[in-house]
């Protein structure tokens, strides 16, 4: 895990974040994801500066191992001077060695965030789930940590004031907010009371708006008037020009022509797997991956 230098904002990694959510559903199955219905709670990972450093780190690590459903894994946490914020040795287990940057000795309240990310590396390693390249694999790790209920800590570690800023992880604060909002939509959970950082709350609100935007795209019936109008126009175009490709749209038309059979494909707003439906008006569809029921007007 890298040390936060300058804080990037917005949604530059959104495509990879979305691929990571799909990959989680594929690897864990919807029931596997549902097993993570409760987030780790603030009380379980609270760490005050007067708590014993090593006992406290072990206690927080145990809470996160439980949250991430790694019953037999044991984390051995140590501190040393290092360039990165934290690292973990991915071995066969059941013991895993996590090293935290010495600066956490004085910033104990962020130890939970750093440990959450490193312990997620262990879970992904055991699941044999990875993305090629460090950048994408770190995005997968942050996304999975957040989707499975421990990543609100990473967002809460984001703080900015006049003199300094700090952030952990690869996702931008808004992207952490996005994944957190995706998670709350599925589990009906509201993480906002857990934030201690006002900037984290703002980023969550921005991410939540982006997540809501996903649910308001045609052909979903929740789409707004302008989106529906654009959709109708593009559908007419696809019927008349069966081989024209949709450009830059969240949805794409396929087939069509004189023999009919026009289909539309679009990403599931929950898991981002693509869904393909025949174009024939109002229909209730079920995502083949996450099983979310979707009201559509194709
Ligand atoms: Zn990492
Ligand atoms: Zn889905």
Q: For 67-117, what is the HEC assignment?
A: HCCCCCCEEEEEEECCCCCEEECCCCCCEEEEEEEHHHHCCHHHHHHHHHH
Contact 133, 178 (CB under 8 A): no
Report cis status (omega within 30 of 0) of the bond before 14. no
Helix (H, G, I), strand (E, B) or coil at 283: strand
Ligand 2 centre from 11 Cα, in Å? 21
Q: What is the pTM of this model?
A: 0.93
58-62, 91-95, 241-245, 283-287: least confident range: 241-245
Ligand 1 centre from 227 Cα, in Å? 38
Ligand 1 centre from 232 Cα, in Å? 44
Ligand 1 centre from 192 Cα, in Å? 25
What would the two tokens of residue 117 be?
Answer: 């990310």
Ligand nearest to the CA of 292: 2
171 strand-pairing partners: none
Q: What is the pLDDT of residues 106-126, one digit of tens each?
A: 889 899 999 999 999 999 999
pLDDT band at residue 131 using 50, 70 and 90 as cut-offs: very high
Ligand 2 centre from 163 Cα, in Å? 43
275 strand-pairing partners: 266
- Residues with C-beta atoms within 5 A of ion ligand 1: 1, 138
Say if residue 142's pLDDT is above 80: yes
Q: What was the pLDDT predicted at 48? A: 85
Average pLDDT value for residue range 185-207: 95
Q: Which backbone phi and psi does 277 adopt, to 5 degrees? A: -130, 145
88-92, 177-181, 241-245: least confident range: 241-245
Helix (H, G, I), strand (E, B) or coil at 284: strand
Q: What is the pLDDT of residues 230-267, one digit of tens each?
A: 999 999 888 887 665 555 678 999 887 666 689 999 99
Length of the chain equals: 298
Secondary structure element (H or E) that encloses residue 21, with its range: helix 14-34
CA dihedral of 44, 47, 53, 57, whole degrees rounded to 10:
30
The per-residue b/e assignment along 204-224, b for 16 or more CB within 10 angstroms, e otherwise, is bebbbebbeebeebbbbeebe
Ligand nearest to the CA of 271: 2
């Amino acid at each position: 895990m890298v040390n936060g230098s300058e804080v990037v904002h917005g949604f530059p990694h959104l495509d990879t974040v979305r691929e990571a959510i799909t990959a989680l559903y594929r690897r864990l199955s919807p029931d596997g994801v549902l097993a993570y219905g409760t987030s780790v709670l603030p009380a379980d990972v609270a760490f005050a500066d007067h708590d014993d450093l090593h006992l406290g780190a072990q206690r927080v690590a145990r809470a996160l191992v439980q949250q991430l459903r790694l019953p037999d894994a044991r984390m051995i946490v140590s501190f040393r001077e290092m360039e990165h914020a934290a690292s973990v040795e991915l071995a066969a287990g059941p013991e895993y060695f996590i090293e935290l940057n010495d600066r956490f000795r004085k910033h104990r309240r962020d130890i939970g965030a750093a440990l959450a990310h490193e312990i997620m590396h262990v879970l992904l390693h055991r699941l044999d789930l990875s993305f090629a390249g460090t950048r994408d694999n770190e995005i997968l790790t942050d996304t999975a940590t957040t989707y499975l209920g421990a990543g609100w800590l990473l967002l809460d570690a984001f703080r900015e004031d006049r003199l300094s800023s700090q952030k952990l992880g690869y996702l931008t604060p808004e992207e952490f907010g996005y994944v957190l909002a995706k998670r709350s939509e599925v589990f009906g959970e509201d993480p906002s009371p857990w934030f201690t950082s006002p900037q984290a709350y703002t980023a969550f609100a921005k991410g939540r708006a982006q997540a809501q935007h996903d649910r308001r795209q045609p052909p979903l019936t929740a789409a707004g008037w302008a989106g529906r109008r654009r959709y109708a126009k593009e559908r007419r175009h696809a019927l008349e020009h069966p081989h024209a490709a949709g450009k830059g749209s969240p949805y794409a038309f396929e087939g069509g022509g004189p023999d009919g059979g026009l289909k539309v494909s679009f990403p599931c707003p929950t898991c981002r797997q693509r869904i393909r439906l025949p174009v024939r008006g109002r229909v209730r569809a079920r995502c083949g991956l996450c099983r979310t029921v979707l009201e559509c007007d194709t």
